[in-house]
Amino acid sequence: MKIVFSEECLNYGSPGHPESPERVRLAYEYLKARFEFIGPAPAAEKDILLVHSERHLENLRNLEFYDGDSPQYPDIYGYACLSAGGAITSAGAAIAPAGAATTSAEQCAFSLTRPPGHHAGPSRVAGFCYLNNVAIAVRKLGKRTLILDIDAHHGDGTQAIFLGDPSVVYVSLHRYPCYPGTGLKSQENCFNYPLPPLCGDQAYLETFKRALDSLEAGGFELVAVSAGFDGYRTDPLASLGLTSQAYRKVGELISGLKLPVFGVLEGGYDGAALGPNVEQLLLGLGSRNS
């Protein structure tokens, strides 16, 4: 099991903003003795353009955008490219070479980078997100992919990018009512499961299992996880009342698909809880027999 991380992603932030470098620093400090870490390379412009418009990239470079939740940090384009590169690196690390004998853990990888991405649309900054990391990695690999979004906020940007795309199925479990106010209904290849605040482990896991069971059997080559941990019981923004064991069970259910899996950090704003919750998800992902 490899975790992708760069200390560069800790070099920006603004006082009081919930998407802080401290949350990721605490997670790294907790996880660094438990897992193997590798570094990312920034995503290439040609890969970003598989998802985002040229105008969007130019606006990021020149800080010509406005979103109340997404500050105009100096060189945010560079940080966003590095985070997108983390998603690409984790996706590549999860895919076994043809014919290679691998264990379950060798077919899983996770990107512990920031900024997050699942609210970013083709031409839009939104909700702490500047580039859509998961979408860029999925488009670059070009495989039939199941995207599982477990962030407590609906990934409206990811849905906007892949709606109607036959190569991708998008599944999101999220709190409603909550930002961004989307994801009430399923559409085409995008399956949405809104949940009430503080629904708890049992309701969440029953819904997650039902979502997986409803998918048509077979056909996927890869699973991508938009791994937000803001559903945790002490999260200040979007708690669903979940415990750490819920993330372990989510990982185990995903591992049962017996496919390569890569995860990318989205939300999760209780800094002290983020590392342990990431660990539980990863332990669950690595639980299936080789």
Instruction: Kindly name the residue from 52, 56, 118, 119 that is annotated as catalytic.
Output: 119
Burial of residue 216 (number of CB atoms within 10 Å: 0-12, 13-18, 19+): exposed
Distance (Å, rounded) from C-alpha 25 to C-alpha 47?
27
Instruction: Measure the CA angle with vertex 212, ends 149 and 264; round to 5°.
Output: 25
With contact defined as beta carbons under 8 Å apart, do 264 and 137 qualify? yes
| 52 given a catalytic annotation | no
Amino acid letter for position 41: A
Length of the chain measured in residues: 290
Backbone angles phi, psi at 167, to 5 degrees: -90, -5
User: For residue 201, what are the contacts with CB-CB under 8 A and spacing of at least 6?
Assistant: 241, 242, 243, 245, 246, 249
List the 145-149 sheet strands across, edge first: 36-38, 2-4, 108-111, 261-265, 222-227, 145-149, 168-175, 190-195
Burial string for 34-70 (b: 16+ CB within 10 Å, else e) reads ebeeeebebbeeebbeebbeeebbebbeeeebebeeb
Instruction: Measure the CA angle with vertex 265, ends 224 and 51; round to 5°.
Output: 60
The kind and range of the H/E element at 280 are helix 271-285
The kind and range of the H/E element at 4 are strand 2-4
- List, by residue number, the catalytic residues: 119
